[in-house]
Structure 1
Amino acid sequence: MGWETEELSRIDLGDQRLNARSIKLLKRLSAKPTASIPAACGGWSETLAAYRFLAQDQIDWQDILQPHIDCSLTRMRAQPVVLCLQDTTELDFNGRQAQGLGPLSYEAQRGLYVHPTYAVTPERLPLGVLDAWMWAREAKDEQGERPGILESLRWIEGYERIAERAAELPETRLVYVADREADILALMQRAHALGNPADWLLRAKHNRKLSGDTDKLWDKVAQTDALGELGFYLPPRAGRKGRNIVQQVRTLRVELPAEGGGTFEVTAILAREINPPAGEKPLEWRLLTNRTAVTLSEAAELVDWYRCRWEIEMFFNILKNGCQVEALQLSTLSRIELALALFMIIAWRIGYLMRLGRECPEMDCEVVFDREEWQAAWLVARKPLPPKPPQLNEAIRLIAGFGGFLGRKGDGEPGAKSLWQGLQRVMDFAMGIRAAREA
């Protein structure tokens, strides 16, 4: 049984034929994530079947995502702590004629927004997509106002859904993690009113004035004694070189106004880089959380959890560049949403394989790859087939080699791009081997 069948084993679209088609389409798209739907399907009849599936009005994208959510919850139950990352990305379909798209950051752009909840371990192993909002904005009216839903509600509702999951997973601590856009007092008030069933950790955007105090929040935190220093390596990203970071950490427990009167306590954490390289702006994070942090180790753990937020950016990178979702040629918003539900599962899978190869390098590769898949990689690489399944990291590195990973001494472990490109080629190899056997 392939991973696609396992991941969608509980799917219920009201028709067994539709259930089977969803699994088959997930398999086809995951084998060639960068290809168009016709190229991934490999034939006109199967392409027509894929488009008919995506045109089913009675299917909601949540129906497709739900079995993956169920599997994600199963994976989460085995973890003591799970970070529930939330963020928003825009998908630009400018030039497409799909009905239902709306303006993006610029009014002339056309597309939609996706706001998922992405579950990862503190070691950054992706566990799956737990939830998502997908919507298209309405155009501004004559007064320059934009009608429709209040978009800030997605952050509050996102926390509420994680809080509901916390009741289902009593042995697992859930932590809601989000960037500056989630620095909303109403969100923190709502979490407090619910009793903080899930912890929360937000990067602050506002420098609030505290009740009965002349100093603003972050000015006051900066005046406290440092708990100590923490160090880590910041990987290179677009327009920025990687470097070793040393941050000085300060914390302060403060009170914010509660909904309906009174106050509630939060911890403010200020982590500021000391002695940055010449010409570099010091790396500074201002974090708010319901958790207490009175020691350096407690604060350092929360900073490490916030650093894991980068995994949702990796998820968006795979979704856009690995799965090429902005190139979808579909005629309506609802059809795009159905396709996106499938591609979100695929994007998770690619990230999962990349991290699993790093975190569990000695695992048997047949836990995640079919025998024909890893054997195809060995045969095409002209390497003798090992007598037993190789270790996962060895298989990942060989597969990523087909996507451009060189594996030199200083290259580290494969990244997402080389892995998704290598997977696509290996799936083609495996398909050729299956066809030869049948012939």
Structure 2
Amino acid sequence: MVAGKTVCLRQLSRGNRALEVRFNRFLGHDKVTVDRIIESWSNSTGPAVEGRHVLAIQDTSEIHFNTTPQRRRGLGEIGKGNNHGVLLHPLLAVDADDGSCLGLLSGQIWTRAGRRTTSHDDRELSDKESQRWISTAVAARPLLTKAAAVTVLGDRESDIFALYASSAKQHFHVIARSMHDRKLADRSSLYEASDAMAAVDQRMIQLPARAARPARLAHLELRFGAIELARPQNKLLHHLPKSLPLAVVDVREINAETGIEPLHWRLLTSHEVTSIEDAWRIVQWYKQRWIIEQFFRILKTQGLKLEDSQIGSADRLLKLVAIAAKAAVITIQLLQARNGGRQPILAAFDNGQIGALTALNQQLEAASKRLKNPHPPDSLAWAAWIIGRLGGWDGYPSSKPPGPITFKNGLEYFNAVAAGWSLRDMCMP
């Protein structure tokens, strides 16, 4: 999938009908489960997080598959009930210092069985879809024991009191963008408190492009302070603390151009924020959330085009989503590695493939004695340099770095070479 930039089984099998049948049998096998595939996501992530401050970034994306009333494919409703598909909630590990994607940690993939008739407020958290923000982070915790620090980071949907309460118990920090104007312990409101805080600094930051929003330089004003967040008045939450000490970091855009909606983030965090630099650091970490948006774009519209899959049953589509998620992360890692970084090569390639890469690197360097791979051979950047060269990049630092299409071409060539390399010691009778 990484090489072909597609999840279409017919295209992946390149006209080989037997291979297409094998792919379908794999997805249909009872022993191939979504849970087992998700478990395999983190095989290379665990070693990569050691000694780092990890931003564990999570979000949910709806994956829409075309259906008709006669052919729902076993898929439940998404959106406002007018579409059918699958929901994907991954947890990505990202280095807090340099923004490198370390891999997938955990996640959930599901399709809705039907509409709930019990009121949202009358259900336990464990009986709500919102529990995924807590259970996904808890599931990843054993994989992060060797990390120097862990900060679980999410958008507005992760503004959940129970998530803040679980952070101390699980020994991780939280950053979430506020969705609700919550009550504080003194019965004042969160938004009133943040609005009353004095502006202490201003700074220009570069905002990455989003859907229907180009990248731009934003002029931000900063406020921050300590708060005591009150527990929501819900009888099902009485087992949680009555209040929690948190910090709020409020950044709002000033002097925005006409026609542009000003940015305004109220960030709630369990990190201690006592200085201007502490506050800007929280903002910088929250900016890394764009990586998971890039992940979803690669998975869908700008890469694998997962939503175009014509597989006919929900159980196989769920497995396909789980496999495609791993392919999307490898694509991100290769794109990041083209500029160097500390990512280990085992994040994307196994030992057999590394042997083929070594032989190809020797060949590429021999063909141009003045041009050497500048990266350590145990790094993903070393592999990305080779894949880029195979895709048509000239390798010179002064040239434009390889992009997704160059990597696609290089990976297609490499996969063919690696397949032959794996047969090099086979003895034919």
- TM-score in terms of structure 1 length: 0.77
Q: Report the alpha carbon displacement of residue 406 of structure 1 after superposing the two structures with TM.
A: 12
Q: Report the alpha carbon displacement of residue 233 of structure 1 after superposing the two structures with TM.
A: 1.5
Judge which range, 292-301 or 217-226, deviates more.
217-226
Is 1:69 aligned to 2:42, yes or no? Answer: yes
Corresponding residue SS for 2:85: strand
Match of 1:24 in 2: none
Match of 1:327 in 2: 308
Counterpart CA distance in 2 for 1:403 and 1:92 is 32
1:34-433 correspondence to structure 2 within 5 Å: 34=6, 36-42=8-14, 43-77=16-50, 79-95=51-67, 97=71, 99-122=73-96, 123-140=98-115, 149-166=127-144, 168-169=145-146, 171-192=147-168, 194=169, 197-214=171-188, 216-258=189-231, 259-260=238-239, 261-320=241-300, 321-360=302-341, 384-386=367-369, 390-391=373-374, 413=401, 417-418=404-405, 421-427=408-414, 430=417
Contact 2:360-2:386 within 8 A present in 1 as well: no
Q: Report the alpha carbon displacement of residue 221 of structure 1 after superposing the two structures with TM.
A: 1.6
Q: Report the alpha carbon displacement of residue 428 of structure 1 after superposing the two structures with TM.
A: 6.9
Contact 2:202-2:222 within 8 A present in 1 as well: yes
Is 1:33 aligned to 2:9, yes or no? Answer: no
How many positions carry a matched residue from both structures?
402
Please, which runs of 5 or more residues in structure 1 have no aligned partner? 1-28
Corresponding residue SS for 2:115: coil
Q: Deviations over 1:120-172 (max 9, x none)?
A: 11222111111111111133378999x99411111121232344445x32x52
Q: Deviations over 1:218-249 (max 9, x none)?
A: 22222222332233212333322322223221
Corresponding residue SS for 2:222: strand
| Inter-CA distance 139–423: structure 2 relative to 1 (3 Å threshold) | farther
Q: Deviations over 1:296-340 (max 9, x none)?
A: 111111111100011111111111142222222323222222222
Judge which range, 222-231 or 303-312, deviates more.
222-231
Contact 1:72-1:129 within 8 A present in 2 as well: yes
Please, which runs of 5 or more residues in structure 2 have no aligned partner? 232-237, 376-380
**One-letter amino acid of the counterpart of residue 48, structure 1:** V
Q: Deviations over 1:39-59 (max 9, x none)?
A: 212312222222111111122
- RMSD between superposed Cα atoms in Å: 4.1
Counterpart CA distance in 2 for 1:428 and 1:108 is 40
Judge which range, 270-279 or 398-407, deviates more.
398-407
Aligned residues with identical type, % of pairs: 24
Q: Deviations over 1:75-120 (max 9, x none)?
A: 111x420010110001111227464311111323111101011111
Contact 2:102-2:343 within 8 A present in 1 as well: no
Contact 1:175-1:199 within 8 A present in 2 as well: yes
Q: Deviations over 1:159-211 (max 9, x none)?
A: 32344445x32x5211100000111122223334x2x5111100111112323
- TM-score in terms of structure 2 length: 0.79
